[in-house]
Structure 1
Amino acid sequence: MSGSGRKDFDVKHILRLRWKLFSHPSPAPGGPAGGGCLQQEGSGSFEHWGPSQSRLLKSQEKGGVSTFWKKPSSSSSSSSSSPSSSSSSFNPLNGTLLPVATRLQQGAPGQGTQQPARTLFYVESLEEEEVSGMDFPGPHDKGLVLQELKVEPANSSQATGEGCGHRLTATSHSLTPQSDMDSSSSEEFYQAVHHAEQTFRKMESYLKQQQLCDVILIVGNRKIPAHRLVLSSVSDYFAAMFTSDVCEAKQEEIKMEGIDPNALWDLVQFAYTGCLELKEDTIENLLAAACLLQLPQVVEVCCHFLMKLLHPSNCLGIRAFADAQGCIELMKVAHSYTMENIMEVMRNQEFLLLPAEELHKLLASDDVNVPDEETIFHALMMWVKYDMQRRCNDLSMLLAFIRLPLLPPQILADLENHALFKNDLECQKLILEAMKYHLLPERRTLMQSPRTKPRKSTVGTLYAVGGMDNNKGATTIEKYDLRTNLWIQAGMMNGRRLQFGVAVIDDKLFVIGGRDGLKTLNTVECYNPKTKTWTVLPPMSTHRHGLGVTVLEGPIYAVGGHDGWSYLNTVERWDPQSQQWTFVASMSIARSTVGVAALNGKLYSVGGRDGSSCLSSMEYYDPHTNKWNVCAPMCKRRGGVGVATCDGFLYAVGGHDAPASNHCSRLLDYVERWLL
């Protein structure tokens, strides 16, 4: 301890500590205030914080990391002093203190700057303790114990020592390190953001100038210079070639076989630039080259590009190409597309050019999406006739994959005496098996085989149009996806309709008649699911709700119903060619909520209500004679009955057995089948 009462400190040691803790040197004596690190807090004060407000410091002796921040200092009330004492920068030659924060108090205008009140810290020791009264983040393992010295201005008469105009008071605090932050100011990590890109750009310029090239790829008559390192970095094929003990590893010129020159050049360019141009007319050569050179990224991109190009005219070729190149995912997608769109595929040249082995795989699949077995049989016959002389020998083998028992009996009778089959014993056996299936229906359970099992056809779409929704008319149109087993909304009607009729012509929905809640309608609208647009068509001659609607040999028939006043037995027919409604022969009795269906060229009118009760009677209309004929009645009376045909049978499903106004009416769960 010196005579002046101060501790003696090693100035060099203090400078080292200051540099280590605050990462900047002390300003020289008489230098600019604050060392150029002043931050203005308000209109009347500045703060000196060092390089940053939250400085991370490191105790290299203990390996600890400390976070330092400013501790508020008390304001000064003394008057201005000499320039040397009012300087905001710390002069290491004067003493022993480490400044953490300095606040300059500005006086009133014209009074000058008051003496600064400074908070100074001196590193005294290291110890384990927590500091009370200060808010430290996280747990405190090791602490730097600092001696806080409050420097207050003193009168010149009280100052002791040369140039000393301050009174010091000391308190101790411990600043605790945060171990999860790297506070080293003497070590930094730098990473160039675009280093790899710039490096490859430089390599590309070397390639264009043919500088530093150490290999030449020869394909056909073309020579392509390159750098081994670049090729090896993107291609496993070249990496294996240049790093293994093979003769090509040391050759300057390497011959490339089985690869397109333009495709190879594109891939070499890709190795340098990462850019690739995909074109429909060159994509197959590019994909084949990428598969050979083992460029998985390029293979994936090319496969996705080909998936976008799938079409009924090229899907068979893409499927075969993907199989040859080992692109499993592309092959699966192309195969699924082929099965889903087989109706369009069979109309294209690729189908006729299929080899027998590929056609055999197609015919054997359960996933062929055809409406009936007759369609796939006619496709086989078309394929055989395209090159009959060569393909007749494969006919019996391919016919075994046609599910002949599912063909109509008339076609089987014609096949028996067909020139292509009558002299082929195997074909005759298959035809006879199918005929027995039809001739002996009671034994069909004993004749089950893969040829009697229908294919998983999803041709066509099931639509649900309008109806009742919470006692109000629904206007939505939904369709059912057989593949995903989901209902999705397909569109909206222009207005509310109840008890209307729906028919389908040329993949368009015709919505006819009904009522809107206030009045009975005669309007007709056509919905196109592909364009999702509605078209207004000529109205019917009669307003009808509860009518039956179906298509018979082209025209649409609107049968019976109610006009708002009475039950109707009249029938109207709409001709798609002339786009006009005309009346045809009327039914024998009036029917509303009637079920209608077409079967074997006849229009059947089933059940309904006549105003007094539900009906069990049934009659059919012959368009060639323009007459109605009575049929055998159903077992149950049915109003609002659903009618459909399947495999030559007419089915009546559900309905009710009393007028809707009768609270004792009963919903029916019976299904009746009418035999011709």
Structure 2
Amino acid sequence: MDELTRSFSSASSISNPLNRSISSPRLFTNEQGVCSGSSASPSSGQDETFTDTKHPNTVLHKVQKHAKNGLLTDVTLVCGLVQIEAHKIILVSASDYFSAMFTGGMVEAANSRVEIHGIDPMALPPLVDFCYTGKIDLHEDNVEGIMTAACLLQLPTVRDACSAFFRKLLHPSNCVGIRLFADAQCCLGLRDAAKVYMEDNFQDVIKNQEFLLLPVSEVVNILSSDDLNVPSEEIIFQAFMDWINFDFTNRKGDAARLLACVRLPLLSPQFIADNIENQPVLKFDSACHHLILEAMKYHLLPERRSQLQSSRTCPRKATVGYLYAVGGMDTNKGATSIERYDMRTNSWSQFASMSGRRLQFGVAVLNGKLFVVGGRDGLKTLNTVECYDPVTRMWISLPSMITHRHGLGVSVLGGPLYAVGGHDGWSFLNTVERFDPATKQWSHVAPMCTQRSTAGVVVLNDKLYAVGGRDGSSCLRSVEAYSPHTNKWNFVANMCRRRGGVGVGVLNGMLYAVGGHDSPAVSNPNQSRMTCVERYNPSTDEWTLVANLSTGRDAIGVCILGEKLFAVGGYDGSCYLSIVESYDPSENTWKQMGSLNTGRGGACVVVVQKEELDPPNTTSPPSSASSDRSSNLVAF
């Protein structure tokens, strides 16, 4: 025993020094009396933290395996006939729904068995597995149930994955159903994506049974949209009739409610007479008959259209055509680009280029083509005329004007194109000439009473109006109107303000004068640029002020698109502007729209109407000037 004790003690005496040397270095006193180690300690740069990147997945995989085997689980989820054992801590960490249930003082927190209601039982197992693994398989036959359950269980990443999956599935045969489903699940991004897809592909959507099976409230909602991508209102009427006839007996009572969504006044009188008036479902319904009569009045009484305005007289965005901004002055001393505005996307895109540099020219639309007239190419005043076809995207030269003109105004009245006033490089002009598209010849007509350059020129009630401008000494308030029947110019009421470089447009039988300047204002160029806008009523021969622009400017391009007055670009005294605003006469307000890509002043802005598109080409624009929806065709 003593030997064993001695032996053990001896071993201890051997091991203790070794332990001491490992656990702490020996210390010694240096010359300054400071204790230090006998050797240098490891530097902090040699420290490291080891991370097992596989650890989270490995552990969660084992925890999931335990759950599958019922080991160490503390809750059983029950959904219909499906029962799943799980760990509360995992569920709480992955789902806000379970977090509230098990940590929020709810009665389920103490239960070992919890029932889940309101979801597809087959969707629960993959979602519980997702809580452990972060992975889930999506298929066409399970994504709807999984998305519904993910929304309830508050698994946002799964919801977003399902939403992205649904976007890939969008098709004319299912987009309406996906939109309704997303709306029910409050998935606003998917709902909006499905809505846009449906509107973009509306002509294919209405051919599918999903559309024909919709309840009337949803059909009303769809047919009321301004954003449907249709070439004309005829497509909307046909969709309405297809839906009614799919279950005629039960749906004929909804005819008037749905017909009110069709913008009948925008259909041609021939179409109304041939396809609508004698429809049995409409013929004997008094409310339908009233809507048809309203449309006929709109066509038979054009002078009363300003009194017949309603949601049914406002064209859908896809049917209004395209707005073109041609040339103008920019920071490069003359833009040659042509930009096109699409009302559906509220955006401008580069569309074409002019054949050469021109400033202070005029543009009008005749037979769906853009006529570029006069201007100057620097110091030289031009009389040349070019024509651009937006369908073929080709330029051709046409016979030149009799007189060289820049700062002229041009417009189309009753077929011929008129070039009004301007400057010939030496003097201000009151002369007017007319281009006959049939003979392709220019001829003089009666001159204006006043010399005018940078005037606004527009058509209203079969007369040509010259508004404001400059006469060489000052800006003008005066306005005169030309009648082609009498070949005479007559003054009408003066504007409230003098305006040179004014933009003009005609909407709902009223003439609008937009912006401009009232003096050179060399010392303060910003001061003379106007924000004020005024409106002329030909019935009362009076001008009245309406809502102001957001920014004072002249050289504004003005045009009418979709029953709105657009003010495009301009010059504020220091900068060429890309700003675009639209005016709603019913609300007397201006609204910011998509900006030009290039800031420009004095751009000629015109609209080519949808009905003048070449039928095979549905991406290019067309034109038509009417007495109550004319556009500004003025050069500055």
TM-score by length of 2: 0.52
1:129: which partner in 2?
none
1:48: which partner in 2?
none
Residues in 2 aligned to 1:475 and 1:559: alpha-carbon distance in whole angstroms: 14
- Secondary structure of the 1:615 match is strand
After TM superposition, the structure 1 = structure 2 runs for residues 520-535 of structure 1, keeping only pairs within 5 Å, are none
Structure 1 residue 116 corresponds to structure 2 residue 105: no
Larger RCO (alpha carbons 8 Å, 6+ apart): 2
Q: Which has the larger radius of gyration?
A: 1
After TM superposition, the structure 1 = structure 2 runs for residues 637-676 of structure 1, keeping only pairs within 5 Å, are 637-641=451-455, 655-658=469-472, 667=500, 669=502, 671=504
- Secondary structure of the 1:379 match is helix
Counterpart code for 2:63: M
Structure 1 residue 274 corresponds to structure 2 residue 139: no
Report deviation, 1:270.
0.2
Report deviation, 1:429.
1.1
Picking from 390, 397, 414, the partner of 2:247 is 390
Q: 1:556 to 1:477 in 2, by over 3 A?
A: closer
Picking from 255, 259, 274, the partner of 2:120 is 259
Report deviation, 1:426.
2.3
Q: 1:606 to 1:390 in 2, by over 3 A?
A: farther
Q: 1:575 to 1:119 in 2, by over 3 A?
A: closer
Residues in 2 aligned to 1:257 and 1:584: alpha-carbon distance in whole angstroms: 72
TM-score by length of 1: 0.49
Counterpart code for 1:384: M
Conservation of the 8 A alpha-carbon contact between 1:416 and 1:428:
no
After TM superposition, the structure 1 = structure 2 runs for residues 38-49 of structure 1, keeping only pairs within 5 Å, are none
Deviations for 1:61-99, whole angstroms, at most 9, x for unmatched residues?
xxxxxxxxxxxxxxxxxxxxxxxxxx42xxxxxxxxxxx
- Secondary structure of the 1:427 match is helix
From the two aligned structures, give the one with the greater helix fraction. Answer: 2
- Secondary structure of the 2:287 match is helix
Q: 1:447 to 1:458 in 2, by over 3 A?
A: closer
Q: 1:414 to 1:574 in 2, by over 3 A?
A: same
Counterpart code for 2:188: E
- Secondary structure of the 2:419 match is strand
Residues in 2 aligned to 1:557 and 1:297: alpha-carbon distance in whole angstroms: 55
Conservation of the 8 A alpha-carbon contact between 2:327 and 2:336:
yes
1:369: which partner in 2?
227
1:513: which partner in 2?
356
Structure 1 residue 203 corresponds to structure 2 residue 63: yes
Residues in 1 aligned to 2:168 and 2:200: alpha-carbon distance in whole angstroms: 20
Picking from 285, 292, 297, the partner of 1:431 is 292
Residues in 1 aligned to 2:200 and 2:139: alpha-carbon distance in whole angstroms: 28
Q: 1:573 to 1:477 in 2, by over 3 A?
A: closer
Report deviation, 1:202.
1.9
1:378: which partner in 2?
235
| More displaced stretch, 293-302 vs 447-456 | 447-456
Counterpart code for 2:133: T
Picking from 171, 183, 190, the partner of 1:323 is 183
Counterpart code for 1:429: H
2:424: which partner in 1?
610
Residues in 1 aligned to 2:466 and 2:194: alpha-carbon distance in whole angstroms: 40
- Secondary structure of the 1:117 match is coil
Q: 1:451 to 1:610 in 2, by over 3 A?
A: same
Residues in 2 aligned to 1:512 and 1:245: alpha-carbon distance in whole angstroms: 77
Count of aligned residue pairs for this structure pair: 442
Residues in 2 aligned to 1:599 and 1:656: alpha-carbon distance in whole angstroms: 23
Conservation of the 8 A alpha-carbon contact between 2:455 and 2:502:
no
Q: 1:609 to 1:407 in 2, by over 3 A?
A: farther
Counterpart code for 2:232: T
Counterpart code for 2:291: L
Conservation of the 8 A alpha-carbon contact between 2:223 and 2:261:
yes
Residues in 2 aligned to 1:474 and 1:670: alpha-carbon distance in whole angstroms: 19
Report deviation, 1:287.
0.7
Report deviation, 1:597.
4.4
Structure 1 residue 621 corresponds to structure 2 residue 428: no
Q: 1:241 to 1:384 in 2, by over 3 A?
A: farther
Q: 5+ residue gaps in structure 1?
A: 1-26, 39-86, 89-103, 105-114, 121-190, 492-507, 516-544
Residues in 2 aligned to 1:608 and 1:116: alpha-carbon distance in whole angstroms: 102
Residues in 1 aligned to 2:450 and 2:177: alpha-carbon distance in whole angstroms: 57
Structure 1 residue 419 corresponds to structure 2 residue 335: no
Conservation of the 8 A alpha-carbon contact between 2:419 and 2:432:
yes
Q: 1:257 to 1:574 in 2, by over 3 A?
A: closer
RMSD: 5.7
- Secondary structure of the 1:607 match is strand
